[in-house]
Amino acid sequence: MLLHVETISVVYSILGAFILFYGLCSLFVKERLYLSEAMVAVTIGIVFGPVCANFINVGDWGGDQVELSRQFSRLAIGVQVMAAGVTLPKAYLRKELRSMVIMLIPVMITMWLVTGLCVWAMIPNVNYLEALIIAACFTPTDPVLANSIVQGKFAEKRIPLHVETLTNHPLILVAQSGANDGLGFPFLYLAIYLVQMPTGSAIGKWAYYIMAYEILLSIIIGFVVGYVARKLLKIAEKKKLIDKESFLVYAVALSLFLMGTVSMIGSDDLLSCFIAGNSFTWDDWFRKETENAHMSEVVDLLLNLSMFVYIGATMPFSDFGNPELQLTAWRLVVLAILVLLFRRLPIVLAVYKIVPALRTWREAIFCGWFGPIGVGALFYYTEALKNFEEDGPQAHVRAVLAPVVYFMILSSVLVHGFTIPLFHIGTFASRTLTRTSMSSNSNTQNNSIMRLPMFSQKQQHNGMNEKESDVDSPDSNPDIPEPALSGPPRHTAITIVVPERSHHPTVNGQKEQSNTKEDEKQSDRPHDTTQHAPSKHVDDLSDDDDNNSVSEYL
């Protein structure tokens, strides 16, 4: 008798085994290999999916695969954008209002239009409005991937822009990715309405239903619910009514409540979750109380790993070169290159001077490049499919949505996932070359110093007296003008290695304290500092120059 194994049991086994074994080496993967968890999870999904081992085949599960993808991605995004809102510091949206407005309105509009041009140029039999529908799916940046970029050892030590405080550019990535996942609806439905109805009717419906009912109403609901939830939690904690476990899971429960309630009234539940998360931690109280608990991070990790394994398992590789859709692999590769290069980076570089959160062009490059495409693109793909019939006038657009969106997710996960280790390799190589160069210069200086004759203290006293008696001072000869001392001093071996006493009071501190009488007798001789061994100072100077050069590089 053959053992009957349920399909879902196989999925549970593989997913659990992956999370277990990944957890055993997760620190090494993240902080030594600098690989994102999303890239590892997508790889596992591909390996165990229909393309390779065929242990996870979503098509065999039955039911509506599109609806399953929609609800799964919606759950992951809802919890993640709530976590993004909770992560932001006190009153962050008010303090960085100008930065957020610029990043969410002109930057996102430009991203949408430029991405539409790329899709229109590379996907056959698609007009520009239909290309804008496809482009709207991966215009928003993904909060899951964006959050993984600004966390961990690499983000803390090697993101080259005042990372110690984490108050500007990394958080603007998290804030924008959390907000624009909910703000993707206006772009998607404006293009859909323009395709399906006359221009006047399309703009009217888009204005009152999408912008007013979905966007504005969801913002109000999110802010009010977050405020009330914060007050209730403070009262319960003050009166000792809530236990520790319920306190830690409060934000996750709040996201589930909002996703269900706001969705039932037909408004934007994702944007409402983000606003509620920021309103909930407006005074920074909850974030500080739970910053060492990491409860939400645990929930996020489970959802994110499961979600990206699902994406890898449902990757439609057969459609990447489908002749019926007139798609070829080279078209998708070129599209991915164009989108990743021109979708976000140029517009961020163009406006960074008016964005307070971006202080330098290096920060603009960082934020412009790291605009990843992930779970949000899958959600908006399923949202777009609801509005088109399989045999309708936009049947071709419906058919090409899946391969284009999935290929963009795969490209972003791979490219942005490998950018971090490549950046680390480049930084390490530059630091190695800099250290080698500085070490060579230091050795040259040490060799020059070692060739200097060694004098005892008595010989130095005698030699200085003889020199003072043989050489006339400038004051004794009025015909010789006193030389001007303008400009920096010459960097000879003596002037570099032996700084003045006033600049380094602790170098000879022990000797000065033990020989105070001798120092008082020799106080009128300023050149006496040459008697101390200079080799230690050369090494210190070399290390300081090395660190300064690395800091300037970063």
User: What is the set of domains in the chain, with CATH numbers?
Assistant: 64-309+324-428 (1.20.1530.20)
Which range of 146-155, 157-166, 262-271, 353-362 scores highest in mean pLDDT? It is: 262-271
| pLDDT number for residue 522 | 46
| pLDDT number for residue 499 | 42
| pLDDT single digits (tens) 210-220 | 999 999 999 99
| pLDDT number for residue 505 | 42
Token digits of residue 242 = 């809530």
Average pLDDT of the chain to the nearest whole number? 78
Which stretch of 195-204, 222-231, 425-434, 530-539 has the lowest confidence by average pLDDT?
530-539
Mean pLDDT of 229-240: 94
Which amino acid, residue 261? Answer: T
| pLDDT number for residue 437 | 57
Percent of the chain with pLDDT over 90: 45
The structure's pTM equals 0.75
| pLDDT number for residue 424 | 56
> Is 242 in contact with 288 (CB distance < 8 Å)?
no
The radius of gyration computed from the CA coordinates of the chain, to the nearest angstrom, equals 32
- Please count the CA atoms within 13 angstroms of the CA of 37 that sit on its side-chain side: 25
pLDDT > 70? residue 128: yes
| pLDDT number for residue 279 | 92
CA distance linking residue 203 with residue 206, whole number of Å: 5
> Is 477 in contact with 507 (CB distance < 8 Å)?
no
516 or 41: which leads in pLDDT: 41
Mean pLDDT of 445-462: 46
Using the structure block, give the residue that is written with the tokens 């990043």.
103
Mean pLDDT of 533-537: 41
Mean pLDDT of 384-406: 91
pLDDT > 50? residue 239: yes
